[in-house]
Amino acid sequence: MDQIVDELEFALALQTNINLDLLKISKLAVPRLSYRSEKELISHLSKGILVDDGKRWALVNKNKEVLEMISAAQCFHGHRSSCGTHKDSRFSNIFSSFSSSFKVNVKTQFLVPHIKYTMNLVFKHDINKYWIYVPFKYKSEEETRYSNSQIVKVREDGWLMTELYQFTSYQKEHDFKIEFLNFATTTRSRDFEGIEFRPIEHENDENLEDKNKAGMQQIPIFDMDCGQNLSPEYVDIIKLSKDNIEWTTKKELYLLLRKGFLMDKAGEKYWFSICKNMKKRLMIPAYEMLIKKDWIWKSLPESRFEVVAESLNVNNLKLLFRIKSEMFSNGTSYSCSLIYKLPENSSLLEDLITMQNIGSSNFIKSFYLVPLPPTPVIQFMADHNYDNPSHTHKIKGHPKARKDGWMEIQLCEVLTDATNTIRMLFLFQGSDTLNFAGLVIQGIEFREL
């Protein structure tokens, strides 16, 4: 009877043009799926289903590419560990461990050939804030050196995810053996849901072109009447410039505001500019938020301010400032970023930095000031036809280089309110071996998200 059912399903697939690979996945569903067309089948698969006696989770994206997750309870092995349940997990059992030392032997079944995938570790940790860095050291069986895990993302389902590898599949079934090194201690166990294989989704050129067109429509075109969008408030703001700035047309005024200028408001100096959509943009200089005696003050030609701050030989920093919300566009979400330059010996800053924000929002996050290396790429074939390394996609919370030659790292996000004053106290703490000596800070920048 099982053979007859298989042949009937195969005949149905031919008559209804159902993808045979998707059909094979559906046959392993727990519980069994009921559908009458490929559309109904894809509707089930797009929500995700348990397969292989509940040991795997399979989902099909809009491009009919398979996302596959293998239960940690099936593929994780280690000391000081156990299998248990978790109310938020897709699987009946998860893997819990007090140690960062464990081994993973994971086998895929449904990967789409010639598709680029990321291999991700999915877990939970007692710290549940965004942009958390939970350190892991790991390597595959073929590697000789350990890699450091990337910044952690908080997924929509509440689990944490960190990217381990990128690779291009050449078949459906792959076998990976990964060793995690015990170098981070914790007083609480970490719960691991599994290893996920996720297709790297790329926007096609047509979508990018449409987005570019949409973006261009928001940029003022002074051949028309868009220049009238400049608020009279900006005329008053530019009068606060440290230098005497003159203009004759609204186009000239707009270009001056876009370039930015040093303003002096009640003895406090800021760098003011606007974004393309007229939203205010502000940079607070280092000398407005740092304790003067704790820093070396010097001039740099590439800085917007007269002096910048260079750190002394310490492993902790304190940044404190207060600014009225009237300096920002009301009801706007802003990113708050540290603008800095790395010391010549940047290896002193390669360790993890923990930051506590004591102010309008109180949270702890961890990050690196030194750019992380790209995600390791697994190469399967000698001719590299399928395994050309791809650039690591940008991850929120990673440091990045700016066009003006400085570095930036986003510290937090702020929603402005005209009635409030923004108060921030950032405390940076490094390990015993980390040293901020030589780090140069230009300031803190607020710009629209």
Domain that holds residue 397: 277-448
| 3-state SS class at 305 | coil
Residues 181, 82 share a domain: yes
Q: pLDDT tens digits for 70-92?
A: 999 999 998 777 888 999 999 99
Give me the pLDDT at residue 55, please: 94
Residues 288, 195 share a domain: no
CA 2 to chain centre: 47
Residues 77, 185 share a domain: yes
Question: What pairs with residue 104 in β-bridges?
Answer: 76, 178
The one-letter code for the residue type at 206 is: E
User: Over the chain, what is the mean pLDDT?
Assistant: 81
Q: pLDDT tens digits for 377-417?
A: 998 764 455 555 454 445 666 788 999 999 999 988 888 87
Residues 169, 282 share a domain: no
Q: Are 115 and 202 in contact (CB under 8 A)?
A: no
Give me the pLDDT at residue 374, please: 80
Give me the pLDDT at residue 287, please: 92
Q: How many domains, the chain?
A: 2
Residue 100 belongs to a domain with what CATH number? 2.60.120.260
Domain boundary among 199, 232, 256: 199
Q: Is the pLDDT of residue 220 over 60?
A: no
Q: Does residue 248 form part of some domain? A: no
Residues in the chain: 449
Residues 185, 293 share a domain: no
Residues 441, 337 share a domain: yes
Residues 307, 191 share a domain: no
Q: What are phi and psi for residue 32, nearest 5 degrees?
A: -65, 140
Q: Does residue 206 form part of some domain? A: no
Give me the pLDDT at residue 375, please: 86
Residues 21, 123 share a domain: yes
Q: Does residue 409 form part of some domain? A: yes
Q: Does residue 257 form part of some domain? A: no
Q: pLDDT tens digits for 222-255?
A: 433 444 566 778 888 888 888 888 888 888 888 8
Buried b (16+ CB within 10 A) or exposed e, 359-382: beeeeebbbbbbebeebbebeeee
Q: Is the pLDDT of residue 219 over 50?
A: no
- The rounded distance, in Å, linking the Cα atoms of 169 and 330 is 48
Domain boundary among 133, 166, 199: 199
Residues 410, 299 share a domain: yes
The one-letter code for the residue type at 140 is: S
Average pLDDT over residues 424-430: 87
353: exposed, middle or buried (C-beta count within 10 Å: 0-12, 13-18, 19+)? buried
CA 320 to chain centre: 26
Residue 52 CB neighbour total at 10 angstroms: 18
Q: Does residue 338 form part of some domain? A: yes
Q: pLDDT tens digits for 257-311?
A: 899 999 887 777 899 999 888 889 999 999 999 988 889 999 999 999 999 999 9
| 3-state SS class at 199 | strand
Task: Give the position of tokens 């958390």.
Answer: 132
Q: Does residue 367 form part of some domain? A: yes
Give me the pLDDT at residue 42, please: 84
- Of 143-152, 358-367, 429-438, the range with the lowest mean pLDDT is 358-367
Per-residue pLDDT band for 43 (boundaries 50, 70, 90) equals confident
Residues 335, 188 share a domain: no
Give me the pLDDT at residue 155, please: 85
Q: What percent of the chain has pLDDT over 70?
A: 81
CA 115 to chain centre: 22
Q: Are 311 and 438 in contact (CB under 8 A)?
A: yes
**Residue 119, both tokens:** 């291999």
Q: Does residue 250 form part of some domain? A: no
State yes or no: cis peptide before 301, omega within 30 of 0.
Answer: no
Residues 444, 309 share a domain: yes
Give start and end residues of each alpha helix (H) in 231-388.
Answer: 233-238, 250-259
Q: Is the pLDDT of residue 183 over 80?
A: no
Domain boundary among 171, 199, 227: 199
Residues 170, 58 share a domain: yes
Q: Does residue 348 form part of some domain? A: yes
